[in-house]
Structure 1
Amino acid sequence: MAVGWFYLSVLALCSLGSMCILSTIYWMRYWHGGFAWDGSVLMFNWHPVLMVTGMVVLYSAASLVYRLPQSWVGPRLPWKSGHAAMHLLAFLLTVLGLHAVFEFHNHAKIRHLYSLHSWLGITTVFLFACQWFLGFSVFLLPWASMWLRSLLKPIHVFFGASILSLAIASVVSGINEKLFFSLKNGTKAYSSLPSEAVFANCTGMLAVVFGLLVLYILLASSWKRPEPGMQAEREALLRGGE
């Protein structure tokens, strides 16, 4: 039963994650003219899409690799490698998203890193970089002792969930900031809830629901990879769910 609920949750996550990305793309195309890579405001439009895709959806997928029941059995190295590779891809997309907004700011002569959204975002990316380096050097490379890995594992898990929470906060504050800027000179104020505001607010709520479901799966003890002493019991559970 636990395995069935897990896969049902994964299906819900896939749907929510896809909706988050597609909604952000639609918002940028329908209300803000689409995309370019030329320093213009159309280059900025890549920023929300790449950040939602990298820092929220792909980051979450990488974090949940060890929750797959298939990872409970067999060697850990392939799962560790996949976990690290997916996080690296998420980080590369995030860097491209940052480049898009910094390049736009340079082109438009807008000051960098002045808003709370930008402070949250850059802090999240910095912690993400540190987290990936720590995970790669301690948990993937073979030099670290079991004692060191056991000591750092709770810290690694804590910051994994914390980074996702900060990423969701950054997305929500970024959506709000973008709406204030785009609607302040428009025919309808943000407070009157024009169609763009309704759509973008719903996109933000989708990201929040997505993040909460990811955190629930990460914290659910019954879906964690078992310790060696519990391996046989979990293998039986896995066979029972097939």
Structure 2
Amino acid sequence: MAMDNLKQFVFALSAAASLGFVCIIFVLTWVLHFKEGLAWDGGLAEFNWHPVLIVTGFIFLQGIAIIVYRLPWTWKCSKLMMKFIHAGLNLLAFIFAAISLVAVFDFHNAAKIPNMYSLHSWLGLAVVILYSLQLVLGLGVYLIPITPVSVRAAFMPLHVYSGLFIFTSAIATALMGITEKLIFGLKDPKYKDSPPEATFVNVLGVLIVVFGALILWIATRTSWKRPNDQAFHSLHTNGGGEANTKVGPALSQLSEGLEAEAGGDVRRRSNKSDDQVD
């Protein structure tokens, strides 16, 4: 990673993190200022937990979990530690999503509203189920030491693709949900009359899309990929203090070292297989 690319990474990461926090502030402002606030009483205030937890967990936390391997400041940490951080963030996002579903079903049941009748609900439940499968398979394949290296390598492309697919699907489903809520919730004036709440929530939707685009950009740039652990250790040993002061050229060498790694003992092949998922 050349020095200008490192600066681009820091800019993209800062922009994504800032937008993520702004999205959380927007959704909290929406439910606290325009709606009935937050509570757990079976009413509208309980339903409001749904958008808050989805934006905070299923979108923001999942997005951060996707790019956590890309942070150059964590490359000195062990790969196992980063796996636990990645899995922990995803598990927390899943818990948030599960609680948000409970809030919706409680509200619908208390208000005598049918469940699972809209396209938003169908896709939302499907995304949560896929996410749970992704989480279970990821834990089983990459955090259980006895899993064969060949299985890890074979599963890796599917793990990466499904992670990005679920993330983009969660964003699309969230956009459907906030639009549905505005259409059903705004009576006088109606959504089509563009009251302040409608404009505010439309901006929230745009911010969510931009946040997702930045996460996908960071996650798909191969030059920002975490290098092989042995390549990093070799460069750190050979480069000494110079490797710490010249971050850009060093990271570029790490990327090249990853491509050059081939063969070796079982541990090297395991590291090489795992690195493909970052």
- In the alignment, residue 45 of structure 2 is paired with which amino acid? L
Is contact 1:35-1:45 (8 Å) kept? yes
**Alignment correspondent of 1:130:** 133
Which residue of 122, 138, 154 corresponds with 1:119?
122
Find the residue that maps to 2:226 and give its secondary structure. coil
1:187 maps to: 188
Q: Aligned partners of 1:233 and 1:181: how far apart in 2?
A: 60
Provide the C-alpha distance between the structure 1 equivalents of 2:142 and 2:215, rounded to a whole number of angstroms. 22
Distance change (3 Å), C-alpha of 1:239 and 1:163? farther
What is the alpha-carbon distance in structure 1 between the residues aligned to residue 191 and residue 77 of structure 2? 54
Between stretches 232-241 and 214-223, larger displacement belongs to: 232-241
* Aligned residues with identical type, % of pairs: 43
- Check 1:216–1:238 CA distance in 2 against 1; reply closer, same or farther (3 A cut): farther
* 2:34 aligned with 1:31: yes
> Where does structure 1 lack aligned partners over 5 or more consecutive residues?
none
**Contact 2:57/2:94 (<8 A) preserved:** yes
Q: Structure 1 CA distance, aligned partners of 2:189 and 2:65?
A: 40
Contact 1:120 1:169 survives alignment (8 Å): no
1:129-159 per-residue CA deviation (whole Å, 9 max, x = no partner) reads 0000011010011111111111111110001
**Structure 1: distance between partners of 2:211 and 2:9:** 15
- Is 1:52 equivalent to 2:58 in the alignment? no
Question: What's the offset of the Cα at 1:14?
Answer: 1.3
TM-score (norm 1): 0.93
Is 1:50–1:94's contact at 8 Å kept on the other side of the alignment?
Answer: yes
The separation in 2 between residues aligned to 1:66 and 1:217, in whole angstroms, is: 11
1:42 to 25, 42, 45: 45
Aligned to 2:147, the other structure's residue is in SS state coil
1:65-101: CA deviation from partner (whole Å, max 9, x where unpaired): 1111134345211000111111111111111111111
Give the aligned length: 240
> Whole-Å Cα distance in 1 between the matches of residues 200 and 71 of structure 2?
33
Counterpart for residue 203 of structure 1: 204
Q: CA RMSD in A?
A: 1.9
| Partner amino acid, structure 1, of 2:75 | W
2: CA distance, partners of 1:222 / 1:233: 19
Larger Rg: 2
SS in 2 for 1:64: helix
Give 1:234 shift.
8.0
User: Is the CA contact (8 Å cut-off) linking 1:226 and 1:234 kept in structure 2?
Assistant: no
Secondary structure of the residue aligned to 2:157 is helix
Residue 232 of structure 1, CA deviation: 6.9
Whether contact under 8 Å (1:56, 1:168) holds in the other structure is yes
